[in-house]
C-alpha cells in the first residue's frame, strides 16, 4: 500500500485539465502542472513516481498514446467548484485522496526519466517561443481590451447607419 504524496493531487488536476477533449500527452500535463503550481514543476523522478502510484491505484490510465483519468479518477474531481482557485481545487482533491481506498490491483504506467525530462524541456521551450499556450488563462487586461474594442466597433457602425439615413 502506497500513501498518496504531495504531487498526486496536482497531477490529477493537471491530467483533468490537459485531457478535456482527448488523451493528454506528457507535455500537456507538464504545462497544466506549470499553471497549477505557478511555475514550480516537480522534478522528473517525483512525476514518474506519482504517475506510477496513481495508475497502480486505478486513477490514471494510458489511452490512445496519452493519459486520461479513469472512471475512479473522475469521481474524485467531479464535484470541484468551477470558480475556485487552483490551490482550493488541489486541497479538495487531497482531501478526497485521503479517504480513497488504496488498492494496487491495476497495471502501473511506467515512464522513463528521459521521456519526462524531454517533456519538461519541450514545455519550457514552448514558453519562450512565440506560440500560444492554450492552457494559460487570459489576463484581465486582454479581456477588457477585447470588450472595449468590440463596443467601439458597434458604436461606429451605428453612427454610420444613422449618418446614411440622415444624409
Which DSSP category does 148 fall into?
Answer: H
Angle at 72 between CA 67 and CA 75, to 5 degrees: 105
> Per-domain residue ranges for the chain?
8-136, 138-167
> Quick one: cell of 87?
490551490
pTM > 0.85: yes or no: no
State pLDDT tens for residues 3-56. Answer: 777 888 888 888 888 888 888 888 888 888 888 888 788 888 888 888 888 888
Amino acid at each position: 500500500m502506497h500513501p498518496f504524496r504531495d504531487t498526486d493531487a496536482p497531477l490529477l488536476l493537471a491530467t483533468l485539465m490537459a485531457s478535456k477533449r482527448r488523451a493528454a500527452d506528457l507535455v500537456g500535463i507538464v504545462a497544466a502542472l506549470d499553471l497549477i503550481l505557478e511555475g514550480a514543476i516537480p522534478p522528473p523522478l517525483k512525476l514518474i513516481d506519482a504517475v506510477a502510484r496513481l495508475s497502480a491505484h486505478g486513477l490514471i490510465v494510458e489511452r490512445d498514446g496519452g493519459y486520461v483519468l479513469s472512471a475512479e479518477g473522475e469521481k474524485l474531481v467531479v464535484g470541484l467548484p468551477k470558480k475556485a482557485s487552483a490551490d482550493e481545487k488541489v486541497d479538495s482533491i487531497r482531501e478526497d485522496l485521503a479517504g480513497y481506498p488504496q488498492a494496487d490491483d491495476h497495471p502501473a504506467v511506467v515512464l522513463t526519466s528521459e521521456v519526462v525530462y524531454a517533456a519538461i524541456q519541450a514545455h519550457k521551450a514552448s514558453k519562450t517561443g512565440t506560440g500560444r499556450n492554450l492552457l494559460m488563462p487570459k489576463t484581465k487586461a486582454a479581456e477588457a481590451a477585447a470588450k472595449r474594442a468590440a463596443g467601439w466597433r458597434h458604436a461606429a457602425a451605428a453612427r454610420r447607419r444613422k449618418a446614411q439615413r440622415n444624409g
